[in-house]
Amino acid sequence: MQFSLIFALTAVLLSSFSHAEEYHFASIESLFEQQVGQIVLPEIYSKLGIDITITPMPGKRAQRAALYGKTDGEIMRIWSYSEENPTMLRVPTAYYQLETMAFVHKDSNIVLKSKVDISKYNILKIRGVKHTNNITADLRNVFDYDNTQTMMQALRDNPSSIALTNTADGLYTIKKLNIDYVKALPPALATLDLYHYVNQKHAALVPRLDTVIKTMKQSGELDKLLRKAEAEVLASLETSK
């Protein structure tokens, strides 16, 4: 009798573990803000007792993987992402932010009074990134690169061009490559909130996650986590040298 009871309890426990919630998401590889999200988002999910895994990949591939159900969504994208991809559900409360910043060769005489002025120049951007796709829509002379590193290196041979990326990502890459010929050209061309997106089959997750993010924001916990994650990503530069 006792053996049967132990066996039954063990079976229940094993069953509960096997049915624990687990999700797999895509992130855009190499970008600073996405690396921060890879640290912070699992902490948000842990408040719900959920484990997640994240796979970095190129921007367009990350989008396709989420749309076709190969992943359960993307860790962070801007507001317009779900307008272009209606089957992807936005968690309403943003948990991070980015700036669209122009980076130029330090010896250039480029002056930008507004984002309209970028149309006068050759523009370099990273393939599959929404905020730079949006700001360059319908412009000519736009050139895609696979990552921020190759884009910034291209400015060395293209001093009359403008490279567009998130401010933090650009500064991170400049430090990572130890280059001294590129500078940011403030002010930012745009400031955009970043949201977590899940596939529509996981609609039940949205209100649960939104409640957690709001609570973490109000308590100040989210901001502390973000600052800590930013420091970790920056520190990884030193350990990789």
Task: Report the candidate in 153, 108, 105 with the shortest Cα–Cα distance to residue 126.
Answer: 153
Short-list 99, 203, 94, 103, CA closest to 162: 103
pTM of the model: 0.88
CATH topology for 97-190 is D-Maltodextrin-Binding Protein; domain 2 (3.40.190)
Which superfamily does CATH assign the domain made up of 2-95+195-240 to? Periplasmic binding protein-like II (3.40.190.10)
| H-only helix segments in the chain | 2-18, 32-46, 59-67, 81-84, 130-135, 148-154, 167-177, 205-219, 221-240
> Which residues have a Cβ under 8 Å from the Cβ of 60 and sit 6 or more positions away?
127, 128
pLDDT in tens, the chain (241 residues): 554 444 444 444 444 444 467 999 999 999 999 999 999 999 999 999 999 999 999 999 999 999 999 999 999 999 999 999 999 999 999 999 999 999 999 999 999 988 899 999 999 999 999 999 999 999 999 999 999 999 999 999 999 999 999 999 999 999 999 999 999 999 999 999 999 999 999 999 999 999 999 999 999 999 999 999 999 999 998 766 5
Q: Which amino acid is at 207?
A: P
Domain boundaries, the chain: 2-95+195-240, 97-190
**Torsion angles phi and psi, residue 22, rounded to 5:** -140, 140
Residue whose C-alpha is closest to residue 202's, from 48, 98, 7:
48
Domain 2-95+195-240 identical in fold to domain 97-190: yes
